[in-house]
């Protein structure tokens, strides 16, 4: 009699072949993931090193060109000119207002002394009808000593009589907080007039 004999195949070789096929798939997947990660890392480093593109636009939308930083001496000169305009150019009618505006260039620790000196100038100006104008010709800045030497002309009018004289003024300054009235952050600590 012919009887069918079923042969059973061993399960172990099939399991090993499936496992080997799975390992090959995992190896290929791991290598490709490593490649993608390496390319991404290199790209991130290149983009981090590269300088950013910055577009600056003016108030009307035009492109602003890159400019060098201003010299500290130039900014100090502009601040000193503004201080001179407030502190040394006044009429009897506006002397108090001008001297109060010049207070923005005085440190809070020196405000009391400044207000005392300003009150004397304001009283003298209003009583004697004195006006004053200064015309600086040269401003020499010494950053090491933190001083500015201003030379020029001073015109003083007392009850309509004008007198012109030389201006030689040394200002000591230091930097401090920037404010709306004093955007340069320059504060006058001492004034010395040479006659």
- Residue 184: which of 71, 91, 97, 50 has the closest Cα? 71
The predicted structure's pLDDT at residue 70? 81
pLDDT of residue 16: 65
Q: Report pLDDT for 195.
A: 67
* 57 Cβ neighbours under 8 A, 6+ residues apart: 63, 64
Per-residue confidence of the chain (195 residues) as pLDDT tens digits? Answer: 577 767 666 676 677 677 677 667 778 788 999 999 999 999 999 999 998 888 888 888 888 887 777 888 999 999 999 999 999 999 999 999 999 999 999 988 888 888 888 899 999 999 999 999 999 999 999 999 999 999 999 999 998 899 999 999 999 999 999 999 999 999 999 889 876
* Domains assigned to the chain: 72-193 (3.10.450.230)
Q: What is the DSSP string of 148-175?
A: EEEEEEEEEEETTEEEEEEEEEEEEEEE
- Which residues, 6+ apart, have CB-to-CB distance to 150 below 8 Å? 80, 84, 136, 138, 139, 167, 168, 169, 170, 171
Residue 193, strand partner residues: 169
pTM, rounded to two decimals: 0.66
């Amino acid at each position: 009699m012919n009887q069918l004999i079923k042969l059973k195949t061993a399960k172990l070789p099939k399991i090993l072949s499936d496992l080997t096929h799975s390992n090959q798939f995992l190896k290929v997947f791991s290598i490709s993931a490593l490649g993608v990660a390496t390319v991404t890392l290199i790209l991130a480093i290149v983009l981090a090193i590269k300088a950013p593109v910055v577009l600056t636009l003016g108030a009307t939308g035009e492109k602003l060109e890159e400019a060098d930083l201003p010299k500290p001496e130039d900014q100090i000169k502009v601040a000193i000119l503004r201080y001179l305009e407030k502190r040394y150019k006044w009429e009897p009618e506006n002397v108090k207002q001008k001297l109060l505006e010049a207070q923005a260039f005085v440190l809070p620790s020196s405000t009391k002394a400044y207000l005392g000196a300003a009150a004397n100038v304001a009283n003298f100006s209003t009583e004697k009808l004195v006006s004053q104008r200064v015309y600086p010709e040269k401003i020499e800045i010494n950053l090491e000593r933190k001083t500015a030497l201003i030379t020029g002309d001073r015109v003083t009018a007392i009850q309509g009589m004008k007198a012109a004289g030389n201006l030689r003024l040394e200002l000591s300054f230091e930097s401090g907080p920037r404010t709306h009235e004093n955007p340069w952050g320059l504060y006058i600590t001492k004034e010395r007039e040479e006659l």
